[in-house]
């Protein structure tokens, strides 16, 4: 309920009277989603080492910006660094599954198979276990295709194989911040095990103590345990992704 109030009120930034009637906790979240924190207020750095880099983003609510009116680190990278993004992000979706909104389905429909990307970024969804998707198992080292997309690990391997075959660019999987979740913790362990087979990059926000401390000191960066506000994306998420992209692409800072 609070999320709905926050999003509606954020879109009605001029509704001062209604804003003043909100509880203080909700007010603070609305305040850090006001237009002053929008990516449109960023100044483009044409000298950024990321300027003109083409980056594909596949994910769910964190990539979409569910707590920040559909604006995430993707839009800040575009506005601040001149990144050219292709973004496919739908809240609540899973890695596993053959449904049109599932990750591996959108991988095939939302990204031009003949496009040239400098890097491909994929969110490790937190939704699979809640949606009762089977975890699956890592296939033998020699298996490079025909993965079970109805399992989470199979979908990850399918994504890695598809991106490598069609785009031939570096791949980054990033994990999400959220409250204690044993199933997600196990999935992250499996992601690291997959790294030995597929040689991709992992941006592990789940285990990032610096980010956790920053959020503890400034709770207005988050709507809840998982979803950042625009202020959070601007101040914390975007710099982390800037550094990761620069490191992966071997760019000068």
- Report residue 253's pLDDT band, with 50, 70 and 90 as the boundaries: low
- Do 191 and 71 lie in one domain? The reply is yes
- Do 91 and 196 lie in one domain? The reply is yes
pLDDT of residue 28 exceeding 70: no
Within a domain: residue 36? no
- Do 109 and 213 lie in one domain? The reply is yes
pLDDT digits (tens, 9 = 90+) for 152-171: 999 999 999 999 999 999 99
For the stretch 102-134, what's the b/e string if a residue is b when 16 or more beta carbons lie within 10 angstroms of its beta carbon?
bbbbbbeeebeeeeebbbbbbbbbbbbbeeebe
pLDDT of residue 18: 42
CATH of the domain at 88: 3.40.50.1110
- Do 63 and 185 lie in one domain? The reply is yes
Expressed as residue numbers, the domain containing 11 is 1-31
pLDDT digits (tens, 9 = 90+) for 58-99: 999 999 999 999 999 999 999 999 999 999 999 999 999 999
């Amino acid at each position: 309920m609070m999320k709905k109030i926050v999003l509606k009120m954020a879109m009605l930034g001029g509704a001062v009277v209604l804003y003043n009637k909100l509880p203080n906790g909700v007010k603070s979240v609305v305040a850090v989603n006001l237009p002053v924190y929008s990516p449109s207020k960023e100044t483009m750095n044409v000298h950024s080492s990321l300027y003109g880099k083409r980056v594909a983003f596949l994910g769910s609510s964190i990539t979409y910006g569910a707590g920040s009116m559909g604006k995430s680190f993707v839009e800040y990278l575009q506005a601040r660094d001149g990144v050219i993004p292709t973004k496919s992000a739908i809240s609540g979706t899973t890695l596993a599954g053959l449904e049109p909104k599932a990750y591996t389905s959108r991988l095939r429909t939302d990204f031009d198979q003949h496009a040239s990307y400098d890097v491909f970024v994929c969110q490790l969804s937190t939704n699979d276990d809640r949606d009762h998707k089977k975890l699956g198992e890592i296939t033998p080292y020699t298996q490079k295709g025909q993965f079970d997309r109805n399992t989470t690990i199979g979908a990850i391997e399918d994504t890695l194989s598809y991106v490598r075959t069609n785009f031939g660019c570096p791949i980054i999987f990033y994990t999400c911040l959220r409250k204690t979740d044993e199933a997600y913790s196990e999935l992250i362990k499996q992601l690291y095990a997959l790294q030995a087979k597929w040689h991709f990059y992992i941006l592990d926000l789940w285990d990032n103590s610096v980010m956790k401390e920053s959020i503890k000191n400034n709770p207005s960066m988050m709507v809840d345990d998982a979803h950042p506000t625009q202020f959070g994306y601007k101040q914390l998420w975007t710099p982390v992704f800037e550094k990761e992209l620069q490191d992966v692409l071997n760019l000068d800072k």
